């Protein structure tokens, strides 16, 4: 399994988007994600990190959609929550 620290750092930049300004940056975030997904295709070792980044972008676009977390393996959900700076223990509700 890939070490969780590089995965965490691959998602952390998503958390730095301000929620108020993110709507104006959605196109940019989607383009950025698409570029990384395209560049990552020949590198299967990036698959997990790219899933985490995609989930972070999706969460920022629709924070109420719990399916975003449910689509990830259970052990990665707390890492994404931490990377996004989410408070509370919602992990029991979405585990």
Per-domain boundaries in the chain: 4-16+23-94
CB 49 within 8 A of CB 57: no
**88 secondary structure, DSSP code:** S
pLDDT value for 78:
92
In the structure, what pLDDT confidence band is assigned to residue 92 with cuts at 50, 70 and 90? Answer: very low
Q: How is residue 71 written in tokens?
A: 């689509």
DSSP reduced 3-state for 16: coil
pLDDT in tens, 44-91: 988 888 888 899 989 988 999 989 999 999 999 998 998 888 876 554
Distance CA(34)–CA(50), nearest Å, equals 10
Q: CA nearest 37: which of 65, 12, 67, 10?
A: 10
d(CA 46, CA 28): 21
Q: Name the more confident of 59 and 28.
A: 59
């Amino acid at each position: 399994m890939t070490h969780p620290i590089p995965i965490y750092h691959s998602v952390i930049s998503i958390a730095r988007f301000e929620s108020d300004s993110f709507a104006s940056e959605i196109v940019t975030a989607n383009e950025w994600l698409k570029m990384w997904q395209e560049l990552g295709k020949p590198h299967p070792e990036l698959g997990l990190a790219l899933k985490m980044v995609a989930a972070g972008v999706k969460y920022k676009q629709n924070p109420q959609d719990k399916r975003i977390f449910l689509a990830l393996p259970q052990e990665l959900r707390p890492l994404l929550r931490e990377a996004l700076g989410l408070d509370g223990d919602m992990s029991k509700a979405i585990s």
